[in-house]
Structure 1
Amino acid sequence: MPVALTVPGLLVLALVGAAAARLAVTRIVVYGGSLVFCAGLLAAGVNALTAPVAHLVLPIGLPWIGLQLRVDALAGFFLALIGLGGAGASLFALGYARHEHHPERVLPFYPAFLAGMALVVIADDAFSFLFAWELMSLTSWALVLAHHKEAGNTGAGFVYLIMATFSGMALLLAFGLLAGPQGAYAFDAMRAHPPTTAIAATVLVVTLIGAGSKAGLVPLHVWLPQAHPAAPSHVSALMSGVMTKVAIYGFIRIVFDLLGPTEWWSGTVVLALGGATAVLGVLHAVMERDLKRLLAYSTVENIGIVFIGLGLALAFRANGFTAGAALALTAALFHALNHTLFKSLLFFGAGAVLDATGQRDMETLGGLIHRMPRTAVAVLVGCAAIAALPPLNGFASEWLTFQAVLLHPDLPQWGLKLMIPVDGAALALAAALAASCFVRAYGICFLGRPRSQAAAQAREADFWSVAAMAGFAGLCLLTGVFPGAVIDTLAPVVQTLTTARMPVQLSNTWLTIAPVAASRSSYNGLLVFGFIAVSMILTLLAVSRLSTRGVRRAPPWDCGFPDPTPLSQYSAGSFAQPIRRVFATVLFRAKDTVTMPPPGDSRPATITHHITDPVWDGVYAPLGRAVLWIAEKANVLQFLTIRRYLGFVFGALVVLLMALTIWQ
């Protein structure tokens, strides 16, 4: 099993980073070595999609089962995602990390983070899975705190650590229930003894909590927009583009594989959470002016889209509609791949902008298309992809998800009859708001005039960073133009989990994809790309041939405001104001406070926007205050006498004995 050699190699790189982080050559060794090992993970993952299942047992871990590793089609797909995202982030870091002020806080943990994610995917017993899960969580927490002296980063790391601990405890409970009284912690033993209906329902709920909190499902998403922006940009790309997919893998492995057959209501619960996550995530993103926080909230939205597909697959599979389940699961996995591509690309772009300007606030950017043209082109591709514009990859996977929504048969359960159309509407709303969000983000950051001196003096990113962005932009185009190749590649994973697969797509004429049949619905990314390309070429030729050869230079139309100050152009806040007034007034209790000086006062008028997070204010803030209150009250216990301590111990013993007597 080549993957079993890759993980130790990444851990060796972590030791190298810890031993000599201050040496300039160490950066090249760690990131270059990570790039090579991630390429190996990518190759091994792609090979595992069609190869026989590989199994390996090592004499460590739990004494009676050892450390069990397994690479099947599902693990292979997510290994490929880890390898792809890790290779891109490592390539980007070869140039970007030259400006890292504290490499000793990043280099030891970066390859260990990659190793932890890979080990989660290939683990085949509960102990190995949870060990790798905690390794992934702790190393990413250390990376979040790499810039701990920056405002807010320490708090972000604290919140992330709490949620990561909560996630691990929930998954520990899930595996404990699956193992049963016999303690069957190997995954094969869990598959052989599926739990009862009541235990299966409990496992589903705690798995949604454990994996959903790591993925960013609402209302467990609060750590994500704080932690992802705090990390270095190449780590942000890994956390957002890859680590959230490892969480999705954990959910799929437990619910679709280990749990056995599920009830129809499980799909309803997942659909409800997915729809709410998609809409609330993109609404938060539209309101943000911090570029990296905007991308983090956008990750919440896309995780919601993936869970809509997973919820549909669960609902269809429970009703015996295997063809619909195969379509929905294919759409979910396809969108997970696409999100890895365009979200990594966008975080690379945000990192390049941050490195060139030192700014994340969009109100201080602008005009970067002239200073950073290569970055601007790559980020434009990423924005179009995440906005689901054809012929890029975001459109292909969201279109497949819509087809799964529209495909649903006459299901007998009223919960599904109501929830599936609601999620279809939520998906449409999220797609429209995402387009608005990234038109705003790209226009404010790259177009117009510079809003600060830092933006006016920005310089293009280095060769390695541009190469990483260009590569992922090309992949966004290729997977959008040839979606049939991706669908057919995903077929072994879908076949394993749903006992069905989508029809073979590459055999269709002109590479058209037809989820069910061409007479029902079809899409051809190649023809759309060709139409757009030919239209652009013809338009350019017509303009160049038919326009006058004379050149006349004049100032552009300025709407009666000849002052070239950047204050006269649209801002991020003004762009979002209509959407904020429609949605945020109710959902986020948004308020606009206008300060108008009296007549004769030369001070400018000001508008202050105030938006609250109802999940944070309604759930986590009261919970934090309650914990603080309990801690303060319990603080008196450390000042008791020895007699009172002994009295507490005796009282606890009496209570436990009484409980044991009643239980028997």
Structure 2
Amino acid sequence: MSAVALQMVCVAGLLGLAVLAIVLGRSKISTAVIYGATLAVSAIAWAGALRSLLGGADATALTLPVGLPWLGAHFRLDALASFFLVVINLGGASASLYGLGYGHHDPAPHRVLPFFPAFLAGMNLVVLADDAFSYLLCWEFMSLASWALVMAHHRERGNAKAGYVYLVMASFGTLALLLAFGLLAGPAGDYGFAAIRAAQHTPYAATLVLILMLLGAGSKAGLVPLHVWLPLAHPAAPSHVSALMSGVMTKVAIYGFIRVMFDLLGQPNWLASVVVLFLGSITAVMGILYAMMEKDLKRLLAYSTIENIGIVFVSLGLAMAFQANGLKAAAALAFTAALFHALNHSFFKSLLFFGAGAVLTATGERDMDKLGGLIHRMPFTSFVVLVGCVAISALPPFNGFVSEWLIFQAVLQSPELPQWALKIMVPAVGAMLALAAALAAACFVKTYGVTFLGRPRGVAAETAGEVDRFSLAAMFILAALCLLAGILPGLAIDALAPVATQILGSRMPAQTGQAWLSIVPIAESRSSYNGLLVMMFITAAASLAVYFIHRFASHALRRGPAWGCGFSDATPAAQYSAVSFAQPIRRVFGTLVFHARDHVTMPPPGDLRPARLRIELHDLVWSGIYAPIADALGFLSTRLNRLQFLTIRRYLSLVFATLVTLLLVLAIWS
């Protein structure tokens, strides 16, 4: 059986499981059967994709007699598709393992189980599709399946709005992709990717395709200002579905952008890289600023996804700039860094969403200001979430540091670019990435500290307990992958070499032969990194510090009450909260980015009412772009509603006027 045939069999298995979930309905065994079988199918698909990626075999294709009569449905597995199938099915397997335990706490599993394997099947099909019709059909199937999962708990407050906004943005993105593939097909109308790849595309068409792909793929990925659905949809979906949407589905959007801009269009233009770099850097900074202001755990993680998507697009923009100028080595470095960060993000973001789901299961709360002290009640969850927080903060020796370090190494190659616009812009983009990285570290110090440290701020946090073994197993596996990808990054970089070779015609230097498992992006004389030695140094330094403190300083320790700023009976409410932690950042950026306002109610002396602080924040993208569009559409629909109540004479007059207008347009056009 060929590699692509194996993947299609797995897709058929996932679709069969969706049907089986409908048949089982509310059966008590449905959760275990569906998630267990989905875990097995996803593991098989992951193993097949990994074998195809590492084996370096030629692309294999498959044509099915469905779809358009003259076209059929084409599916193809090459190195690029193999890598993203590895990401999709690894995420699907971990989410299925997590769901074996988490699914038993779902109040309406019959609303989730049919669409969960269907969602995974849709993402697999998008990556395997080799013609525009199949791609768009599978893209829409993926979007509708994920929308159904967002609406699984539609009776909860805000979920219906989240589903509506997501559906509107998904439809808008699909329309943009439809127009992009129409331009790529050209007058001949050949929608096969092979024909599009072989055709010549004018600079005008390439520019329009870039804009449409940024709208279509960018809306699904979460590029600013197309990000508005993420902070609504991710909290509404079940936590393991949120992990798939954030850690995996956004990578399918990145795949679509790479497939079109790097593969189907051919040689990129350096002006296109300027647009991608600008949007990516703005997305990275805005995303983490939004996350910094949040106190809802899952909304914070959704905004953090926006930041990481911006980082990936910055790296892709660098790859476009280098490739357009013939700098093959630098282009391969930036492209590999983008893929590596996409892989890393799927690890630690899925882990963090699983951790948020564990906290939600144990406490029933997503508001961080009502949590605290969970490190004592959920020790295993707190440990793996700490790993995820360190990894997403890009701190060594975990994987987030390596991929972001590679991106900064690509930024340092910008003096070789001949265009002065890029020479000036790329260092500025690097400075914005550094700002985003610093804010990300602060954001997840807040997240972990307020949620897991200190004292419980409510009864729910006081009575919490550890989650089930399936959820813990999924989180520990992802935590181990975060560590392995951080201390052995050379293995991942070499595994990505076939993708870079296929898309760019070049690759990074082989890393597995380096001494002490170091990685060397360009040359040893420029820079190198060794995650294993860094981990050994951190472990040794920490161990020595603990030993000396306990050996020589324990006799000097005294236990006493915590300092309460002059109040001897400090309550848990007096601890740092998520809002108070973000206050300095809000003061610096709030006026410009959020139009932040602090409303203080201070009763006069003798009045026993408590003082109150209310913080007002505005999403300028929503209020400046989407709200006016919604108001205009509401106004127009109200006016056009009168057309439903015309007389037959007016209807006939309207039809006659429309016909005359169309004939005039046709006469002028011809």
Which TM class, normalised by the smaller chain length? over 0.9
SS of the residue 2:76 aligns to = strand
**Which one of the candidate residues 13, 31, 34 is aligned to 1:30?**
34
- Structure 2 counterpart of 1:123, which letter? A
Alignment of 1:527-606 (within 5 A): 527-548=533-554, 553-606=559-612
Alignment partners' CA distance in 2, 1:551 and 1:520: 47
2:428 aligned residue: 422
2:6 aligned residue: 2
Q: Does 1:657 align with 2:656?
A: no
**Which one of the candidate residues 206, 212, 232 is aligned to 2:212?**
206
In structure 2, relative to structure 1, the CA distance for the partners of 1:309 and 1:564 (3 Å cut) is same
Q: Does 1:432 align with 2:442?
A: no
**Which one of the candidate residues 292, 297, 300 is aligned to 1:291?**
297
Shift of 1:52: 1.9
**Which one of the candidate residues 321, 342, 351 is aligned to 1:345?**
351
Alignment partners' CA distance in 1, 2:152 and 2:409: 43
2:19 aligned residue: 15
Contact 1:328 1:401 in 2 (8 A): yes
What CA deviation, in whole Å up to 9, does each residue of 1:351-371 have, x standing for no partner? 000011000011100000001
Question: Normalized against structure 2, the TM-score is what?
Answer: 0.98
Alignment partners' CA distance in 2, 1:383 and 1:418: 33
Alignment partners' CA distance in 2, 1:562 and 1:340: 46
SS of the residue 2:582 aligns to = helix
Contact 1:44 1:79 in 2 (8 A): no
1:314 aligned residue: 320
1:197 aligned residue: 203
- Structure 2 counterpart of 1:300, which letter? I
Q: Identity percentage over the alignment?
A: 62
1:39 aligned residue: 43
What CA deviation, in whole Å up to 9, does each residue of 1:300-350 have, x standing for no partner? 000000000000001111111111110000010000000000000000000
SS of the residue 1:188 aligns to = helix
What CA deviation, in whole Å up to 9, does each residue of 1:462-518 have, x standing for no partner? 000011111100100000011111111100001111111100111111111111011
- Structure 2 counterpart of 1:109, which letter? F
- Structure 1 counterpart of 2:495, which letter? T
SS of the residue 2:358 aligns to = helix
Contact 2:287 2:307 in 1 (8 A): yes
What CA deviation, in whole Å up to 9, does each residue of 1:258-296 have, x standing for no partner? 011221100000000000000000000000010000000
Q: Which moved more, 1:47-56 or 1:276-285?
A: 47-56
Contact 1:34 1:90 in 2 (8 A): yes
**Which one of the candidate residues 250, 256, 260 is aligned to 2:256?**
250
2:86 aligned residue: 80
Alignment partners' CA distance in 2, 1:552 and 1:634: 77
- Structure 2 counterpart of 1:143, which letter? L
In structure 2, relative to structure 1, the CA distance for the partners of 1:280 and 1:542 (3 Å cut) is same
Alignment partners' CA distance in 2, 1:229 and 1:338: 22
What CA deviation, in whole Å up to 9, does each residue of 1:427-447 have, x standing for no partner? 000000000000000000000
SS of the residue 2:64 aligns to = strand
What CA deviation, in whole Å up to 9, does each residue of 1:356-410 have, x standing for no partner? 1000011100000001000000000000000000010000000000000011234
Alignment partners' CA distance in 2, 1:175 and 1:611: 39
Alignment partners' CA distance in 2, 1:636 and 1:297: 41
Alignment partners' CA distance in 2, 1:84 and 1:265: 36
Alignment partners' CA distance in 2, 1:33 and 1:585: 51
Contact 1:32 1:91 in 2 (8 A): yes
Contact 2:415 2:423 in 1 (8 A): no
**How many residues matched?**
664
Q: Which moved more, 1:137-146 or 1:38-47?
A: 38-47
1:141 aligned residue: 147
SS of the residue 2:652 aligns to = helix
Alignment partners' CA distance in 2, 1:535 and 1:573: 34
SS of the residue 1:57 aligns to = strand
Alignment partners' CA distance in 1, 2:575 and 2:554: 31
Contact 1:21 1:27 in 2 (8 A): no
Alignment partners' CA distance in 1, 2:188 and 2:420: 38
**Which one of the candidate residues 280, 298, 310 is aligned to 1:304?**
310
In structure 2, relative to structure 1, the CA distance for the partners of 1:549 and 1:421 (3 Å cut) is closer
Shift of 1:553: 4.9
Give the CA RMSD over aligned residues. 1.1
Alignment partners' CA distance in 2, 1:335 and 1:471: 18
Ranges in structure 1 where 5+ consecutive residues have no aligned partner: none
2:63 aligned residue: 57
Shift of 1:549: 6.1
